[in-house]
Amino acid sequence: MRKSLRSMAVAAGLVASLVTVGSGAAQAAGSPYLPGILRPSASQADQDAAVMKYWNFWKTNFLSTKCGSGTYAVLSKDADHAYVAEGEGYGITIAAMIGNKDSQARSIVDGILKFVKAHPSVNNKDLHAAEQDANCKSVNGSDSATDGDLEIAYGLLIADKVWGSSGGVNYKSEAVRIINAIKKSEVNSSTHFMLLGDWGNDAQYKNASRSSDWMPGHFRAFAKATGDSTWDTIRTTHENAVSTLQSQYASSTGLLPDFVQGTNGTLKPAKANFLEGKYDGAYSWNACRDPWRMGADAITFDGSKSLAQVRKMNTWIQSFTKGDPAKIESGWTLAGKKTESGEHPCFTAPFAVAAMTDPGSQAWLDKLYTQINKFSPDKNDYYGTGITLQVLLILSGNYVAA
């Protein structure tokens, strides 16, 4: 059973026409964004340069070829183990989105998929064993992590969008195989909540879930790829859970906890030390991704329930910081009390996606964009670098919605 997920020291389809958004930069043709969605006011050239800066840094510092011929694996230097499933998922998604800008991107996607398939979960061979050591050997139970499998499958759907599936790898088929396995082994069949992994369906964990796994855009894409309406039910379940948690526990902030319990009845933030640490029931190192994940759906799908939910977060963070993104901390209680001090990109960057949803937040979005680009990428921070790069892909209009 995998309990220690990360060690942190401080730790729907494409709209095929030109869209003009907010008062920021104009969208490129093929943008997936809805009309009226904001973009940073910086020039497109500046935004593309920011993406490529992070992409080249990411390639240099977080890609390993030591796990076999033709294999790539994403190094997670700030995690418990050298390689973690979430990192491999990020790698596939990032490389697929950058596919039209770097001729190496497709071989990276294929190489990461080769690594993933070489390390199956002991519980379901179509899922990925969540952790590997520096010798590329699966460790800590060799079972899965839901966040990793969700992202691997989604990234493969993006690869199919970018390159099609007629080459050496059928990305669509590989994605559907994993999606079906996720449904079988990582979804509570009674409640339709995501489990923590394929090890989580027991008395202690089966009625718990991680808010950063509640990715409505992923669930929409899975329903479309498989034709399975269960994914619409899964999406709705999590959208309703967000509304419940915001209403009952975060009415002034909109923040979500890292983990929740009681998915079979009375939903509530997890108790301290439920799984990872004393902030398991707070907005911490997992939930920091929520404004990005929910925001991605809000800016691409007309009628997304996430729109109002993520705007609530956006309104609060502007108020908390008094419009100064340098004052974004590294976590809060759901009531908005600081839990850890200091800036970290995984907390700052996702709020920029939330800001894109609010027509009145152009100045705030521009400040966030500037602040994000002040961060110097850290070669030992795969988590923050990977999140920042994915946010920059969205901000710059280089996002691909599966």
Distances (CA, A) of 34 to 30, 38, 397: 11, 9, 12
Exposed/middle/buried for 265, CB within 10 Å: 0-12, 13-18, 19+? Answer: exposed
Catalytic choice (78, 110, 131, 147): 147
Three-state DSSP class for 187?
Answer: strand
**Residue 86 bears catalytic tag:** yes
| Six-digit token string for 270 | 């997890």
CA distance linking residue 144 with residue 131, whole number of Å: 8
**Residue 232 bears catalytic tag:** no
Q: What is the DSSP string of 294-346?
A: HHHHHTTSTT-THHHHHHHHHHHHHHHHTT-GGG--S-B-TTS-B-S-S--HH
Contact 100, 162 (CB under 8 A): yes
- Containing 396, the helix (H) or strand (E) segment is none
Mind telling me the catalytic residues?
Answer: 86, 147
